[in-house]
Amino acid sequence: MTLCASPMFETNKELPVVQLELPESKEAGVDLFVLRLDKIDELVSGNKWYKLKYNLMNAKAQGITRVLSFGGAYSNHIHALAWAGRELGIQTVGVIRGEPAYVDNPTLMDAVRWGMELVFVSRAEYRRRSELDYLTELQNVYGGVLIIPEGGSNALAVKGAAEIITDRMRLDYGLTHVVLPCGTGGTLAGIASSQPRLQVVGIPVLKGAQFLVKDIQKLMQDADVRCDDNWGLDFDGHYGGYAKVSPELLSFISDIKQRYQLPLDQIYTGKMMFRFIEMLKEGAFYSGSRVLLVHTGGLQGLRSLSCA
């Protein structure tokens, strides 16, 4: 199967946008919309398709038959890469932070079933995932492999993420702002660079994520895209740190799904929505704003709750 023949990479198709009438947004005089990237595909959803698209096209163009990347036990990126590899006939290797016992969880069971080779490493080794000498070691072990960074974020991912929000979407909904959760910053870099007329707010889900400012700037520079001052990060949406969960957050996620039929996960989208409502109450958005929340899909985190 070629990339052109695969419907998963038809990223120019119209994406579902729904209006959400939250009491808090009404009170603030803010019109709220949600871009449902979780609706892209039945098995694997979200921004990961956009971040993988040009990386895998690059692999195909170079005749590379094996791709390696990094992630945790419930990584949306690893899950998406495994499925894409199977669909496109590309071998995939996942370097997983944690113990081999994690292979029994639903996310990694999917990855194995789709043909991904899993390599479990200690947290200390995993921290080396961006070091040149470590990447060279992996190249020596898996000769000719294309290595994609954790979360898929690189210059080619920025190019793909730039296709998520179109000018037509901005004009049709009269958008003024975009809000999205941030892990590695690649999706924000793509959206902010392609939509300079919108104010883009990223909500990092990691504690102490101030380093993302420089990471995002570098991603934009590497991708050779415009780096206007139309974006920023709100650092108060991690709620204790990456993958930290409270009963209050889980109750909120359950309530949103029941009231609006909108599934959120506790790692990314749930925290984004929770923080967004706080920001509304704080007056972060002027009356008359028209805000698009990007549901980045990737609901693998929910599967961890069923295994708890």
CATH of the domain at 172: 3.40.50.1100
Ordered alpha helix ranges (H), the chain: 23-28, 48-61, 76-88, 106-113, 123-126, 132-141, 155-161, 167-172, 186-194, 212-223, 247-260, 269-281, 300-307
3-state helix, strand, coil in the chain (%, to 5): 45, 15, 40
Sheet holding 199-204, edge to edge: 17-19, 31-36, 290-295, 177-182, 199-204, 231-233
Distance in angstroms (rounded) separating the CA atoms of residues 262 and 268: 14
pLDDT over threshold 60, residue 13: no
pLDDT over threshold 80, residue 6: no
Tens of pLDDT, residue by residue over 258-282, are 999 999 999 899 999 999 999 999 9
Tens of pLDDT, residue by residue over 150-200, are 988 999 999 999 999 999 999 999 999 999 999 999 999 999 999 999 999
Residue with tokens 């992996």: 138
CB atoms within 10 A of CB 46: 27
The verdict on 164 and 293 lying in the same domain is yes
The answer to the question of residue 246 being in a domain is: yes
Q: Which domain holds residue 129?
A: 48-152
The verdict on 67 and 196 lying in the same domain is no
The verdict on 63 and 133 lying in the same domain is yes
The verdict on 196 and 276 lying in the same domain is yes
The verdict on 105 and 206 lying in the same domain is no
Distance in angstroms (rounded) separating the CA atoms of residues 233 and 158: 17
The answer to the question of residue 52 being in a domain is: yes
Q: What average pLDDT does the structure give for the chain?
A: 90
pLDDT, residue 2, reads 46
The verdict on 301 and 188 lying in the same domain is yes
The verdict on 165 and 117 lying in the same domain is no
The total number of residues shown for the chain amounts to: 308
The verdict on 120 and 263 lying in the same domain is no
The answer to the question of residue 1 being in a domain is: no
The verdict on 186 and 75 lying in the same domain is no
The answer to the question of residue 123 being in a domain is: yes
Domain count, the chain: 2
**Average confidence (pLDDT) over 236-249:** 92
Global pTM reads 0.90
Please identify, among 92, 124, 152, the residue that sits at the C-terminal boundary of a domain: 152
The verdict on 204 and 147 lying in the same domain is no
CB atoms within 10 A of CB 258: 9
The verdict on 130 and 80 lying in the same domain is yes
pLDDT over threshold 60, residue 298: yes
The answer to the question of residue 2 being in a domain is: no
> In this structure, are residues 88 and 60 in contact, taking their beta carbons and an 8 Å threshold?
yes
- Side-chain-side CA neighbours of residue 224 (13 Å): 0
The verdict on 28 and 98 lying in the same domain is no
